[in-house]
């Protein structure tokens, strides 16, 4: 029997150790064990709800792809693709709730920390996976944001399939019900800015026509791989039954998403306009840069939103915001947190311990 060298003995021992850890948890990355950096994926709750007939949810898929050496942003996009392609998730991609004309218009943004590069699309029609188009914008153009017909033409040039209609029978049926409940004049005068169309959508959510959290539905997914590389992606069908052409916070850097390789990543779901007015994801990153815990940074952003919500139509009887808004963040050390305006929200996480839900902190109790 040939004599083993010291290097071969050490290598063999390391392999045994790694094999034992991998058996203990299928989500443990060998590279993480070797390098001492904990990979992590966090997302809005719908990242750990459905598998769309596949073997994994979004956070599981993203985490396992990172462990297999896939680029951090590519892994996150592969994760959210599961949700974008899921016809039962009415807040994202295929089957997302349409605009007031019954047309599904999609928004997405992605940001790669190490490359300091980002891409986005807005009001994109006909493509089930807008997150992939957003990444193509980042990788193949000198621009950040393409919108409407221009975004669709770019997608077509990049080889994406363009479909005539992204509605499912369920989303089309919900739109018809909404149309029956609202008047034909979608633009209302100043005196009636409580917006009857939104009231109808919320009433339909109460009655079970649509998921209450999908009136303002989105998926945000952020992650860090074993190399410490950070990225994020947000994708959505936007506000249910919105005015055609409306674009919320999701594709806008600093609002729906922001990543800083030296700090971390942050994103959101909920009422996009209130997020946009405060550039909240950028604010969260700056709070973490000053040393704040991700959860506390999210709460700071929510306090800013609350203080700037002054219109009566957007306030409850206590003068607090009457809409939903949730932030999610992870820092460069893998510390994560989420916060919402009101209780009852949670976010998804996948790390070496596996996938699970974590409760969000709430600004109001």
What is the per-residue DSSP string for 40-86? EEEEEGGGGT--TTSSS-HHHHHHHHHHTT--HHHHHHHHHHHHHT-
Evaluate whether 269 touches 238 at the Cβ level (below 8 Å): no
Residue range 217-245: average pLDDT? Answer: 94
For residue 163, what pLDDT is reported? 98
Specify the DSSP class assigned to residue 279: T
pLDDT-derived band at 10, boundaries 50, 70, 90: very low
255-258 long-range CB contacts below 8 Å, 24 or more apart? 255/279, 255/280, 255/281, 255/282, 256/107, 256/109, 256/218, 256/220, 256/281, 257/109, 257/110, 257/111, 257/220, 257/232, 257/233, 257/281, 258/111, 258/232, 258/282, 258/284, 258/285
Catalytic residue (one of 28, 37, 129, 218)? 218
**Residue 52, both tokens:** 């769309």
Question: Residue 165: pLDDT above 80?
Answer: yes
Strand order in the sheet with 361-362: 257-260, 264-270, 325-331, 336-340, 361-362
In the chain the first and final C-alpha atoms are separated, in Å, by: 70
* d(C-alpha 199, C-alpha 188), whole Å: 13
How many percent of the chain have pLDDT more than 70? 81
CA–CA separation, 121 and 132 (whole Å):
10
Residue 182 has a pLDDT of 79
pLDDT of 187 strictly over 70: no
How much is the pLDDT for 217? 66
235 is catalytic: no
- CATH number 3.50.30.30 given to 23-169+207-362: no
Question: Which of 16-25, 169-178, 238-247, 314-323 shows the lowest per-residue confidence on average (mean pLDDT)?
Answer: 16-25
How far is 196 from 184, CA to CA, in rounded Å?
11
Q: What is the 3-state secondary structure (H, E, C) of 171-221?
A: HHHHHHHHHHHCCCCCCCCHHHCCCHHHHHHHHHHHCCCCCHHHCCCCEEE
pLDDT tens-digit series, residues 24-33: 345 544 433 3
By DSSP bridging, strand 145-147 and strand 117-124 are parallel
């Amino acid at each position: 029997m040939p004599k083993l060298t010291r290097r071969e003995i050490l290598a063999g021992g390391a392999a045994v150790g790694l094999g034992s850890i991998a058996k203990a948890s299928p989500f443990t990355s060998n590279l993480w064990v070797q390098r001492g950096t904990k990979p992590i994926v966090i997302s809005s709750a719908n990242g750990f709800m459905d598998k769309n007939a596949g073997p994994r949810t979004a956070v599981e898929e993203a985490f396992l792809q990172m462990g297999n050496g896939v680029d951090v942003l590519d892994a996150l996009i592969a994760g959210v693709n599961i949700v974008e392609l899921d016809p039962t998730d009415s807040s994202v991609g295929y089957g997302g709730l349409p605009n007031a004309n019954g047309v599904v218009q999609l928004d997405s943004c992605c940001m790669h920390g190490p490359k300091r590069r980002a891409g986005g699309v807005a009001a994109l029609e006909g493509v089930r996976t807008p997150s992939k188009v957003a990444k193509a914008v980042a990788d193949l153009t000198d621009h950040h944001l393409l919108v409407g017909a221009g975004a669709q033409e770019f997608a077509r040039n990049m080889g994406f399939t363009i479909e005539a209609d992204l509605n499912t029978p369920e989303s089309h049926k919900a739109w018809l019900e909404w149309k029956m409940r609202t008047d034909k004049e979608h633009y209302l005068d100043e005196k009636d800015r409580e917006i009857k169309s939104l009231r109808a959508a919320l009433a339909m959510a109460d009655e079970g026509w649509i998921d209450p959290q999908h009136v303002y539905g989105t998926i945000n997914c952020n992650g860090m791989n074993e190399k410490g590389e950070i990225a994020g992606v947000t994708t959505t069908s936007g506000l249910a039954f919105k005015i055609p052409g409306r674009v919320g916070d999701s594709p806008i850097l600093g609002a729906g998403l922001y990543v800083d390789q030296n700090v971390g990543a942050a994103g959101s779901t909920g009422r996009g306009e209130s997020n946009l007015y405060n550039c909240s994801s950028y604010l969260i990153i700056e709070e973490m840069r000053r040393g704040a815990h991700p959860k506390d940074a999210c709460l700071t952003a929510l306090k800013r939103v609350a203080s700037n919500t002054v219109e009566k139509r957007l306030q409850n009887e206590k003068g607090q915001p009457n809409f939903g808004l949730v932030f999610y963040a992870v820092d460069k050390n893998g510390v994560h947190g989420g916060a919402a305006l009101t209780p009852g929200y949670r976010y998804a996480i996948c790390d070496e311990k596996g996938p699970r839900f974590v409760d969000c902190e709430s600004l109001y109790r």
